[in-house]
Structure 1
């Protein structure tokens, strides 16, 4: 099995030219699981794959990460082959927030007769979940309020932090198998996002060497981060991942 990460967007909420931070895990060259659904990110996804995503994980509910859901609803509800089959893996504590952000409108359709969530198969998740025979882990990030942002781990292959301040104690547990760590990082941090000085202060060199930085503010910031010796994600880039042992968990446990 070949695994890769497609960066649909790498910018923060203001860096429209970089696309909203969003990515898709590919397996054997095909989209397998998409992380978040921002407006610009969804446009990039459609341009890359020519269709809407079939399965998504939601890290948090800021609009640059969920602003594409109305378009995803239209593209799913009105396609009988997709209606109710698009899998949404949502950390359980985010369910009410996601509903408030994108699902709580008097009528999903002006003529009535439809609920917003009819278009999807919503799967609340806790510390871990299964997708297509593979077990993925979920961990808390540090972004604004507690229990409102989460990251994702594909064991031995990928850690996606989502929007976060440094989380050294979390990554000591959830990035301990040599994974590529796609990490929120700009040139300068703030109370809800990491800056490169924050990462250098909080993380050991070995972890920094595995980081792929995204969610920066501009192309110039990306160049500045790269000039400091870091790997910086680019919009549309395909990043090869290590083959994951997670795909074998089901067979070894049963």
Structure 2
């Protein structure tokens, strides 16, 4: 069994050329779980995986660059049904505190389809989650991050494989706790911090070297910003890049840094 994480985009909300930050967990090259679904993500998924449908999504928070593509996915599922294809409702794993906000933003309009007759949630399997959830025999852990207000954003961890912060200020204590087995750490990094995001200087100041050695930055605004982050010794994720997720519990002596795939999908 081979698990990899491929980025579908690695930019912030105004970095359309980089794609909105999102990643997909792949099992033997088959999509298993998408993390976030912003405006650019729907078309990126179709471009990289034209033979597959979206099986499941985890939502980190409700900013539109992380959920804005759900409407396009909703429309595509309607098209599948009209064409007589078997309905496959994507699982939508959503931290419970986010569900009211998510519903108001994407699902509360009385006619989700102009002709009426359907509800937005008819085409998704909404699964509220708290500290953890199971998906395809794997137990994922969910944790709150620092993003402007309490309980407004969450990260995801597959123990022994990876930790994905979503958008956050530095949370070294949380990352140290959940990524304690040499996992990859995929972390929100901007050149300059603000109340919702970690700046490069913040990350370099707050995280110890052993965590920085496993860290991959995303959520930047341009290729030049990526190069600036790389010049400070951090890896960055680019759209299409895959990272091999070896089970670190079975290979504790190896460096996670050796496991990056050079493949560009």
What TM-score, normalized by structure 1, do the two folds share? 0.93
Distance in 1 between the 2:117 and 2:87 partners? 14
**Are the equivalent residues in 2 in contact too, given 1:166–1:199 (CA < 8 A)?**
yes
Distance in 2 between the 1:215 and 1:181 partners? 14
Distance in 1 between the 2:129 and 2:238 partners? 30
Distance 1:199 1:181, change over 3 A: same
Q: Which residue of 2 aligns with 1:58?
A: 59
> Which deviations, in whole Å up to 9, do the C-alpha atoms of 1:197-227 show, x marking residues without a partner?
1011111100011000000111100001111
Q: Which residue of 2 aligns with 1:133?
A: 137
Q: Is 1:124 aligned to residue 131 of structure 2?
A: no
Greater share of helix residues, 1 or 2? 1
User: Counterpart of 1:16 in 2: which secondary structure?
Assistant: coil
Contiguous gaps of at least 5 residues in structure 1: 247-254
Q: Which residue of 1 aligns with 2:217?
A: 213
1:157-236 map, 5 Å: 157-236=161-240
Distance in 2 between the 1:218 and 1:55 partners? 29
Distance in 2 between the 1:36 and 1:227 partners? 28
Distance 1:165 1:189, change over 3 A: same
Q: Which residue of 2 aligns with 1:93?
A: 97
Q: Which residue of 2 aligns with 1:29?
A: 29
Equivalent pairs, count: 246
Distance 1:97 1:217, change over 3 A: same
Q: Which residue of 2 aligns with 1:8?
A: 8
Q: Is 1:20 aligned to residue 20 of structure 2?
A: yes
Contiguous gaps of at least 5 residues in structure 2: 251-265
> Which deviations, in whole Å up to 9, do the C-alpha atoms of 1:114-173 show, x marking residues without a partner?
110000100000100000111000000111211010000011001000000001121121
Distance in 1 between the 2:128 and 2:88 partners? 15
User: Counterpart of 2:156 in 1: which secondary structure?
Assistant: strand
User: Counterpart of 1:172 in 2: which secondary structure?
Assistant: helix
Q: Which residue of 2 aligns with 1:77?
A: 78
Distance in 2 between the 1:174 and 1:125 partners? 17
RMSD, aligned α-carbons: 1.5
Distance 1:24 1:82, change over 3 A: farther
Distance 1:245 1:71, change over 3 A: farther
Distance in 1 between the 2:77 and 2:149 partners? 31
**Are the equivalent residues in 1 in contact too, given 2:181–2:249 (CA < 8 A)?**
no
Distance in 1 between the 2:234 and 2:172 partners? 18
What TM-score, normalized by structure 2, do the two folds share? 0.89
The runs of at least 4 consecutive aligned structure 1 residues that moved more than 6 Å come to none
